[in-house]
Structure 1
Amino acid sequence: MKPFIFKTGVFLFVSLLLLFGIFSKADGYSDSFYIKFTTPKQSSLILGTSRAAQGLQPKVFDSILKIKFSNYSFSVIHSPYGSTYLNSVKKKLDASSKQGIFIVTVDPWSLSSFTKVPDDSLSFREVKLALGNTPVVNIKPNPFYLLLNREGRYYDLIIDKQSNMFLHDNGWLEVNVELDSLTEIENVSKKVKKYREGMLQNAQFSQNRFKYLKETIKFLKENGEVYLVRLPVHPKMMELDDYLMPYFDKDIESAIDLSDGYLDITSLNTEFHYTDGNHLQKESGKVVSTIIANWIDEK
Structure 2
Amino acid sequence: MRRFRRTLITALLTALLAGGTAGRAAASAQSPPIGPLPGTAAWLADGFPGKEPPDPATAGPHEVAAFFAGLTGAQQRGLVRDHPTVVGNLDGAPVDLRYEANAHAGDQVLAYDPRGRGMIAQVAGDLENAAHIAVIVPGSDTDLAAFGATARQAADLQKEAGDDTAVIAWAGYTTPSGIGPDLATGRLAETGAERLTRFTGGLDAAGLPDPSLFCHSYGSVVCGLAASDTDASDIVVMGSPGMRADDVTALGTDARVWAAKSPKDWIDRVPNVEVLGLGHGADPTSPGFGATVLPADDVPAHDGYLTPGTSTLTAFAAIARGDLR
- TM-score category by the smaller chain? 0.3 to 0.5
What TM-score comes out, normalization by structure 2 length?
0.37
Select the structure that is richer in helix. 1
What TM-score comes out, normalization by structure 1 length?
0.39
Q: Which has the higher contact order (CA 8 A, sep 6+)?
A: 1
